[in-house]
Amino acid sequence: MKSCNDDGGTPKSTAIPTVGTAKISNPIKFGRFVDDEEDAVLVNISRKKVEGNAKTKKKPTHIYFEPAGPREKIYYDPSKTKCAVVTCGGLCPGLNDVIRAIVMAAHHEYRVPSVLGIQYGLAGFVPEQGYDVIELTPDFVSRIHEFGGTVLGSSRGPQDPEVIVDALERMNVSILFMIGGDGTMRAASKVVEEIEKRGLSISVVGLPKTIDNDINYVSPSFGFDTSVETAAMAIRGAHVEATGAPWGVGLVKVMGRDAGFIAAQSALSCQEVNFCLVPEDPFDIDGENGLLAALDARMKRRGNAVIVVAEGAGQDMLEESGKKDASGNVKLSDIAALLKREIVAHFKAQNIDISLKYIDPSYIIRSVPANANDRIYCSFLGIHAVHAGMSGRTGLVISRWNGRYVHIPMDLVTKGKKRINTCSNYWRAVLESTGQPVSMKNT
């Protein structure tokens, strides 16, 4: 990558994989902050990785993330800095908290005169869409964290990076905060490229959002804790329904396209779940090891059952719809409908009328305000995003890793997705909690 010296001070993408400290040519001594002593945060902290292989005596390569936080020297002159915020993709608890924290930090910590709100996701950059830009004042955002959703609105799908950078130039934006999923982070990378191509001094800072908690090096993603709390409420309902009728089955579908974290975590928090089905652990419906056999045994032993299924579970058993949504995600086939049909039929064939109650709490989960834990997490993400942007960093996302807030190169988080490791203590705890068979796959 080209050095920053020869391109007029353009902020550079955070380097990979060593600690991402983009060189800045003409930093301003801000004086307000002293750099944090914590120089860098180790990524892998298990002894094997730290000490390296004892046998081969090969020295280990330690990979670190740069700690987030205020910097002694900043790149942008606050009095001339204009920021912009955009929220993309599906709703997630905490969006308003992140927006609020960005606005408050920009105004109160740096006295930045203006933070713009781009409406309805990346579409808000497209003049033809006709969406107004909102001036996000401290007063405007002061209580937005008490409501779910995003005051900016959101939308799915990419937009032409050139159009976006045109808009940034036109609005004279210095720092763009993009809150969104991995599609948005990929879009952000393209915006960074376009900015570099044009030699502009615009920073792009990502704030990874995923209700599925499936973004690499983000652990857990904001809003996840709140989502689990809300999913737990629906599961408790399913349990009450299942035990309230003879042959009662409660079936709850939760979010989780490729990663079943919400299903697994809420199963752990609700001790009443008997089957937790996730995309990472394929299962069969029929056969002697299949779900129906296990469910049959449970029902005859205890008279009721609660099943929590991630929307992306068991997709191999369904015909692919082939369709994609506006974000480019493959439209999932409906595993809950399949389960419902098969379960009812299985018992019907034995002349048993089960009482299956199906609950899909997805939109309730997405739309609640953040709980206290997520509220604080989102505040820090927003504040650190502002610090990162003001320091001239670009092409990075803010995350929490090993308990510390860090800068992570944008490319790193979009290189694949986090999954439940089905060989871990974590998944084993889920299995112990549900009591379901270790595998429901016929070999």
The residues that are catalytic are 212
Question: What string of DSSP letters covers 71-85?
Answer: -SEESS-GGG-EEEE
* Shortest distance, position 140 Cβ to a second copy, whole Å: 13
* Shortest distance, position 390 Cβ to a second copy, whole Å: 14
Q: How far apart are CA 22 and CA 288, in angstroms?
A: 58
Would the annotation count 179 as a binding residue?
Answer: no
Would the annotation count 76 as a binding residue?
Answer: no
Of 151, 145, 150, the C-alpha closest to 366 is 150
Does an H or E element contain 117, and which? strand 114-118
Q: How far apart are CA 10 and CA 25, in angstroms?
A: 8
* Shortest distance, position 128 Cβ to a second copy, whole Å: 13
Tell me the C-alpha to C-alpha distance, in Å, between residue 344 and each of 197, 336, 355.
59, 12, 8
Of 314, 315, 295, the C-alpha closest to 306 is 295
Would the annotation count 47 as a binding residue?
Answer: no
CB within 8 A of 151, min separation 6: which ones? Answer: 96, 99, 117, 134, 141, 144
Would the annotation count 352 as a binding residue?
Answer: no
Local structure of residue 399 (DSSP, 8 states): E
Q: How far apart are CA 55 and CA 59, in angstroms?
A: 11
Of 87, 16, 46, 11, the C-alpha closest to 381 is 87
Tell me the C-alpha to C-alpha distance, in Å, between residue 37 and each of 70, 380, 431.
11, 18, 42
Q: Which is nearer to a second copy, 313 or 381 (CB)?
A: 381
Q: Which is nearer to a second copy, 424 or 442 (CB)?
A: 424
Would the annotation count 426 as a binding residue?
Answer: no
Would the annotation count 157 as a binding residue?
Answer: yes
Would the annotation count 184 as a binding residue?
Answer: yes
Q: Which is nearer to a second copy, 101 or 187 (CB)?
A: 101
**Cα angle value 419/297/252 (rounded, 5°):** 45
Q: How far apart are CA 277 and CA 222, in angstroms?
A: 23
* Shortest distance, position 233 Cβ to a second copy, whole Å: 7
Q: How far apart are CA 34 and CA 186, in angstroms?
A: 33
Would the annotation count 211 as a binding residue?
Answer: yes
Would the annotation count 366 as a binding residue?
Answer: yes
Q: Which is nearer to a second copy, 290 or 409 (CB)?
A: 409
Report phi then psi at 334, rounded to 5: -90, 95
Q: Which is nearer to a second copy, 157 or 282 (CB)?
A: 157
Buried b (16+ CB within 10 A) or exposed e, 245-267: bebbbbbbbbbbbbbbbbbbbbb
Query: Within 13 Å, how many C-alpha atoms sit on residue 190's CB side?
Result: 14
Report phi then psi at 328, rounded to 5: 85, 5
Q: Which is nearer to a second copy, 136 or 202 (CB)?
A: 136
**Helices (H), ranges, 142-280:** 161-171, 182-198, 224-243, 261-269
Q: Which is nearer to a second copy, 48 or 197 (CB)?
A: 48
Would the annotation count 90 as a binding residue?
Answer: yes
Q: How far apart are CA 91 and CA 105, in angstroms?
A: 23
Q: Which is nearer to a second copy, 2 or 57 (CB)?
A: 57
Q: Residues forming the annotated binding site?
A: 90, 156-157, 181-184, 210-212, 255-257, 311, 363-366
Q: Residues forming the annotated binding site for Mg(2+)?
A: 182
Q: Residues forming the annotated binding site for substrate?
A: 210-212, 255-257, 311, 363-366
